[in-house]
Chain A
């Protein structure tokens, strides 16, 4: 079974802090994705990566950056956290030839 893990289930940070959210997949997938999910807004794509060191902006990249130094790991970085970044963050991965995405358990981030 595909396994996607995220470094934290719950995280509380202060405004202005730098925040790292880590995602690791164990199925050698080429593609990895970061979404945020907010009530009433569905899933919104922040960034995705289709190869090591490659990244593409999604629909709402402002205030975020990403890093993919190894194939299995995709990090989401909030350079200076703000309260409007309080959300559920979901990581997903998929293979290069087949776009079914497999999701991690999610990180619920609260920025105070």
Chain B
């Protein structure tokens, strides 16, 4: 059974600082997705990582995938308040049409 674990689950940080959210998963998969959710809203797709070594960047966010370590990271550079949200990673179940989601990381960025 595929399990996906994120850490930390809660993160409070100051503007201007850097930090990393980790997403570990338990069985082989080549595809991983990151989503953002604002309070009271739905999930918005951020990054799609399709192979080992994939790196995607948008603004202050950068995501990477290491399929051998079964690990993805979401790195935040020089955080700003607008990045406050809950971030989910989701892993493709091989042979299935569904994703398995992590628990989510609630990120709060304080001025």
Which residues from chain A sit less than 8 Å from chain B, CB to CB? 30-31, 33, 42-43, 45, 48, 50, 58, 90, 92, 94, 96, 99-106, 108
Q: Is B42 part of the contact surface with A, judged by Cβ < 8 Å?
A: yes
Q: Given A99-B31, A99-B92: A105 and B101 within 8 A (CB)?
A: no
B84 to chain A, nearest CB (A): 17
User: Which of B44, B97, B104 has most chain A Cβ within 10 Å?
Assistant: B97
Task: Report B-chain residues with C-beta under 8 Å of the C-beta of A100.
Answer: 33, 45, 48
The residue from A31, A48, A50, A103 contacting B43, defined by CB atoms under 8 A apart: A103
CB-nearest residue of chain A relative to B102?
A42
Which residues from chain B sit less than 8 Å from chain A, CB to CB? 31, 33, 35, 40-45, 48, 88, 90, 92, 97-99, 101-104
CB-based contact A48/B42 at 8 Å? no
Besides the contacts A96-B97, A101-B45, A101-B99, what 11 more A-B pairs have beta carbons closer than 8 Å? A48-B98, A92-B43, A94-B97, A99-B31, A100-B33, A101-B90, A103-B42, A103-B44, A104-B42, A106-B41, A108-B40
Interchain Cβ contacts under 8 Å between A and B, 9 examples: A42-B88, A42-B101, A42-B102, A42-B103, A43-B104, A90-B43, A99-B99, A105-B41, A108-B40
CB-based contact B98/A45 at 8 Å? yes
CB-nearest residue of chain B relative to A2?
B45
Task: Report B-chain residues with C-beta under 8 Å of the C-beta of A31.
Answer: 97-98
B101 to chain A, nearest CB (A): 5
A38 to chain B, nearest CB (A): 12
CB-based contact B98/A99 at 8 Å? yes
Task: Report B-chain residues with C-beta under 8 Å of the C-beta of A90.
Answer: 42-43
Task: Report A-chain residues with C-beta under 8 Å of the C-beta of B42.
Answer: 90, 103-106
A95 to chain B, nearest CB (A): 10
A50 to chain B, nearest CB (A): 5
Task: Report B-chain residues with C-beta under 8 Å of the C-beta of A108.
Answer: 40
CB-nearest residue of chain A relative to B100?
A45
